[in-house]
Structure 1
Amino acid sequence: MNADMKKYSDYINNVSGNVLLGCDGFVDEVYQIVDVRQSLTEYTAMDNLKEFGELIVQRADGGVGLEIVPKRRCSGGFTPNTGRVAAFLGLQPTIIGLYGSQDIDPAFHEFKENCNLVSLGDSAVTLVFEFSDGKILMSALKTVADLTWEDFVEFFGAEKLKDLFADVDILGLGYWSLTPDFDNFLKGFMSQVSDNKPPRRMFFDFADIKKKSNESFLKSLDLVKQFNDKIPMTISLNEHEGAELFSRFGIPFGAEPALIASDLTSLRDEIGIDELVIHTPHFAVASCTADGEGYALQTHQKNVIRTAGAGDTFNGGYLSASLGDLPIKERLVIANAATAFFVTHATAPSKTEMLEQIEKGTDK
């Protein structure tokens, strides 16, 4: 084993820490769109998202009739998809969300043994139309949108709530754009850690920034900034969310990772938080107060079988890599490996599989 792989092996085989994630929960009903049907049992799926978009534009003055074929019904959302990576690395994360009101929905059964699973009610449903190069997600958000911090407090009670937040190393909260009461959740989370040893880091996935007004967005960012001195804050964004964040601050979003990393530092300083991360299918970049900036190239994956949840899986890898003292490049490499494995296997990697995936990568 060479020196590069030894550092990853030492970290992944000994990673430890308490992870608490809240507070969503989606059941993803995933479909393919039929392009050409050859017979009752054979068809060719529409494989390219851009081509699908062009079809919609071409028929904008009329209508579009499409056949869909179910692929799978599975868990979705920040808490399960992010928590899965931590669970497969043996961290037994606590994930709190909407996984079923009476019984745990079968979509979340995989988490019953390797996570501390706490359900606050019934899941939201997302219709996912999956292509090899992306996906369309349409969610019926009522159960997630209606969930409030007051509901959270009422469910646990004061004493259980105190125990829940004790000794947490990484605290995660998502999705800001899908959770109207997000700001109160953030305030509530912070109120619970004020009397305890603060977590090493708090981690956010804002999701679709475009959905929120600039006023609402800046208000939430200012709130994150206010708490940054107590707990170092990380915001992670995908390529499109990153471009939107840059545009809201009047900064062009470049194509080269080194340039994006440099601009990310300027943006992080302006926002006033500890860490910003952007992940794309081709590379991931980050800027952190203590570590400076860095990037890791992502090996192009062939035979992709699942894209919905890839970004959350990156976050799960990065979050797990943040439990120790790894440099920024190594944290990004681990997160990229988690994503690469997920899109080609539709699940998270074990410790052994994670190391094998890192070994396959060209940038480590």
Structure 2
Amino acid sequence: MDKRIETSGILSKKNPKELKIIVGFDGFVDEIIHVVDKRIDSENFKRIDTIEALGNRIVKASGLSTNIELVPTIKKIGGNGPIMCNALAKHDPDLTYMGALGSPSIDDVFKVMEDKVKLYSFATNGHTDALEFDDGKLMLGKMQSLNDVTYENLLEAVGKEEFINLLKNTNLFANVNWSMLPNLTDLWEKMAKDILPILPQKDNKPYFFVDLADPEKREDEEIKKALGILRKYSEKFFVVLGLNKKEAYDVANVLDLFEDASLKNMQVPLEDLNIELQKFLGIDCVVIHPVDRSCCVVNGEFYMEEGPYISKPKLSTGAGDNFNAGFMLGLLLGLKPDQALLTGMSTSGFYVRNAKSPRFEELYTFMKEWAQGKI
């Protein structure tokens, strides 16, 4: 039987409503933007389709000047955490979000989450102009307010006792967008010292998921320090690090796992890269999601599956966060790692085609139709 058909059938018998999940800590208002190549009239234009084409136009303006017209198409909830949270909320678990959703009150953009998610906000949200192209996206962020995402502000907003109670009962604690949260490493360190010793030791450990979110702009020593802290969480959690393809090669370069030129040119095979990252970091799982496939190493064993690639997505911003939500959902529901990869790619595959995350029935139906060649 096709693995996608089998996994779809297994999912259809699961109940995600029984899960307890905590997600944090960033928050952005995203404006999805197209860049104008030629304007036809007041309503119509031809957009610049590729990052390379935009880059060439910018280079030509060097020493001169140029005007680049931006056309906002959608204003929506942004940030890795809220997007991942919204994707998980489609399956109706017991869900809590903590982070930068507006201060002193929650921004109106995020209030749509309140029906399905318990919200704690302790910082003003950031703002992102997301320039979308057929070959990727440019995320232009304004994020100074995220400096207020601190351990102290978190405890003040949630309450230490309540925070500990939530962690004691959760199945997943997801911390994403490390690169844009300057104080997240400090938060992890203080949690490891103050909170981890209090948490119960469980045979079936809850998951601790981390997504660095393009750490290139952070100093190498900061990246090493943050990754080193993750090992401390392995005592009480099953620790998962999520990376896209670029991030995986960048992190391997920072950790000096392979020869520099091979990493910069992405010549190291994905399997070797994935295995060495998990081995070096000493955590339970490292998952990598290129555009056309995904892979993971769980306790030293490598898994890889090809995905439902689409050349012209309806919406690409948030695809990685939807993959993360789907992959972790698969693990939470007891799927094998290779099946969880399929769940992740089906979630992101549905999202980029429909500009929204799938409900639970839509998720396993999409996986089945993918296997049948209907998408």
TM above 0.5: yes
Residue 74 of structure 1, CA deviation: 0.6
CA RMSD of aligned residues (A): 2.4
Question: CA contact under 8 A between 1:205 and 1:235: conserved in structure 2?
Answer: yes
Name the SS of the counterpart of 1:122 in structure 2.
Answer: coil
Aligned residues: 362
Structure 1 contact 299–362 (Cα < 8 Å) conserved? no
| Residue 142 (structure 2) aligned to one of 140, 151, 155 | 140
Report what 1:8 is aligned to: 8
1:196 to 2:199 alignment: yes
TM-score, normalising length: structure 2: 0.89
Counterpart of 1:209? 215
Say whether the 8 Å CA contact 1:167–1:197 is kept in structure 2: no
Separation (CA, whole Å) in 2 of partners of 1:131 and 1:244: 22
Q: Which residue of 2 aligns with 1:155?
A: 157
- Matched-pair contact (CA < 8 Å) for 1:165–1:193: no
Which residue identity lines up with residue 268 of structure 1 in the other structure? Answer: Q
Q: Is it true that 1:310 corresponds to 2:319 in the alignment?
A: yes
Is 2:229 aligned against 1:223? yes
1:88 Cα deviation after fit: 0.7
Match of 2:304 in 1: 295
Q: Which residue does the alignment assign to 2:270? A: 260
Distance between the aligned counterparts of 1:299 and 1:166, measured in 2? 37
How far did residue 363 of structure 1 move? 10
Tell me if the contact between 2:5 and 2:371 (Cα under 8 Å) persists in the aligned partners: no
Q: Distance in 1 between matches of 2:372 and 2:229?
A: 36
After TM superposition, the structure 1 = structure 2 runs for residues 167-182 of structure 1, keeping only pairs within 5 Å, are 167-182=169-184
Bigger shift: residues 277-286 or 137-146: 137-146
Q: What SS does the corresponding residue of 1:81 show, helix, strand or coil?
A: helix
> Matched residues in 2 for 1:268 and 1:206: separation?
15
Gaps of 5+ in 2: none
> 216-225 or 183-192, which moves further after superposition?
183-192
CA contact (8 A) 1:298 1:363 kept: no
Residues in 2 aligned to 1:229 and 1:159: alpha-carbon distance in whole angstroms: 21
Does structure 2 retain, via aligned residues, the 8 Å contact 1:98–1:120? Answer: yes
Is 1:115 paired with 2:124?
A: no
Find the residue that maps to 1:361 and give its secondary structure. helix
What per-residue deviation string (whole Å, max 9, x for no partner) do you get for residues 66-104 of structure 1?
A: 111111111111221111221112213211112222543
Q: Using a 3 Å threshold, how does the CA distance of structure 1 residues 308 and 283 change in structure 2: closer, same or farther?
A: same
The 1:175/1:113 distance shift into structure 2, 3 A limit, reads same
Aligned to 2:340: 331
Residue by residue over 1:188-224, the C-alpha shift from the partner in whole angstroms, topping out at 9 and shown as x without a partner, is 4444343233552100010122111111111111111
C-alpha separation between the residues in 1 aligned to 2:190 and 2:182?
A: 14
Q: Distance in 2 between matches of 1:60 and 1:33?
A: 19
Which amino acid is the alignment partner of residue 364 of structure 2? L
